[in-house]
Amino acid sequence: MEAVLQKFGIPSDALMIPITSGIINKTWKVTSTKGNFILQQINDHVFINPELIHGNIAAIAAYLKKNYSNYLFPSPVLNVEGTQLLKEKDSGYFRVFPFIEGTHTIDVVENPKQAFEAAEQFGRFTAYLGGFDCTKLKITIPDFHNLSYRYQQFQEALSAGNQQRIQNEKNLIGKLERLNFLVKQYDAITQNPSFKKRVTHHDTKISNVLFNEQDNAVCIIDLDTVMPGYFISDVGDMMRTYLCSVSENEEDISKIQVRPAYYYAIVEGYYKEMENELTAEEKKHFFFAGQFMIYMQALRFLTDYLNNDIYYQIQYPTHNLVRAINQVVLLECLMEYETEFKKMKL
């Protein structure tokens, strides 16, 4: 690590504190006499070609700088080789971001204002990049939010996965299978010309927004999965992570509830930037966005559990199972609000 820091011009005696909210890459806050930074080691099992991420970030940064010069976009720091991405022979890919002073991240949304602010930020990102040809972006993870593909991976896990785990989780598996009408609705969207592909963040969880001390959102971070996509990915992941007062890691399912005020805050924040961009057909699917993302995440967590935890970082053996159950409960809670939320004129 000392060698890595030095290659980014950071003194090797810097203090490194792990940030554990992400479950793919490894992240540290680095405090040094040269300033504060965020250091990341990219998970190159998940991101097979990290160069693609940095090509995307550079293209977007250049567009935003030219067209929205006041937009705060934390670009990675250059290393001694003059590149953003450092490849170390034995330990993989590293990059460093400037730490934006006076900001912090949160892990659960504590008030509707935070939900509004975050939704506005992610909406603004897509809206500002409306003139950027999203097909120029490289696909950093193929089929990332392709629900059909995720369902197929789930089915593969059911035949080739850990037999004991499959046996024990029959009920949960059955529940997810009965929800597969959501896959059909997703497939219909992919065939519907009224659904547009736009520059999509694909990871709009609340910890990917930096807030200042007044609880105002300052900017968004984590552009690793920025790719062409549907708005349901970003809006859906906001619902998945802002509607409930506890995170996907909560074991006590009695704490999993949907907070209507946060739903309305997401609509308002996102609409502030995107109302004129979305087609009427897309607007009709606003509620579906939440079902789509929560269902996909439940499938992905359970698939990983059945495959013996090869994808997500876990803290204990049943962690992915707990996450999958949590997401199914959240999905059921959301579906109880279907009639109420769909009354909102969108």
Contact pattern for ligand GN1 over residues 107 through 146, marking x by CB under 6 A = ----------------------------------x-----
Cβ–Cβ < 8 Å for 284, 139? no
Residue 308 Ramachandran class (φ > 0 left, ψ -120 to 50 alpha, else beta): left
Q: How far apart are CA 327 and CA 307, in angstroms?
A: 18
- Residue 157: its H or E element: helix 147-160
Cβ–Cβ < 8 Å for 26, 13? no
Contacts for 76-83 with beta carbons within 8 Å, 24 or more apart?
77/8, 77/9, 77/37, 79/7, 79/8, 79/9, 80/7, 80/8, 80/9, 81/7, 83/54
Binder of residue 19, out of ligand GN1, Mg ion, none (CB less than 5 to 8 A by kind)? none
297 contacts ligand GN1 (rule: CB under 6 A): yes
Cβ–Cβ < 8 Å for 101, 36? yes
24 contacts ligand GN1 (rule: CB under 6 A): yes
Q: Which of these ranges, 17-25, 29-37, 267-275, 329-337, lies near ligand GN1 under the rule CB under 6 A?
A: 17-25
Distances (CA, A) of 248 to 46, 199, 210, 252, 294: 20, 26, 20, 11, 10
Binder of residue 23, out of ligand GN1, Mg ion, none (CB less than 5 to 8 A by kind)? ligand GN1
Beta carbons within 10 angstroms of residue 180's beta carbon? 17
326 contacts ligand GN1 (rule: CB under 6 A): no
Binder of residue 46, out of ligand GN1, Mg ion, none (CB less than 5 to 8 A by kind)? ligand GN1
Closest separation between CB of residue 73 and ligand GN1, Å? 18
- State which of positions 239-268 bind ligand GN1 (CB under 6 A): 248
- Residue type at 228? P
Q: Which position among 9, 19, 22, 257 is part of the footprint of ligand GN1 (CB under 6 A)?
A: 22
Beta carbons within 10 angstroms of residue 3's beta carbon? 11
Number of residues that bind ligand GN1 (CB under 6 A): 10
Nearer to ligand GN1, 46 or 335 (CB): 46
234 contacts ligand GN1 (rule: CB under 6 A): no
> Could you give the angle at the alpha carbon of 205 between the alpha carbons of 246 and 255, nearest 5°?
10
Binder of residue 103, out of Mg ion, ligand GN1, none (CB less than 5 to 8 A by kind)? none
Nearer to ligand GN1, 75 or 105 (CB): 105
Q: Which of these ranges, 10-18, 22-30, 126-134, 187-195, lies near ligand GN1 under the rule CB under 6 A?
A: 22-30
Closest separation between CB of residue 134 and ligand GN1, Å? 19
Q: Cα–chain-centroid distance for residue 162? A: 27
The residues binding ligand GN1 (CB under 6 A) are 22-24, 46, 141, 203, 222, 225, 248, 297
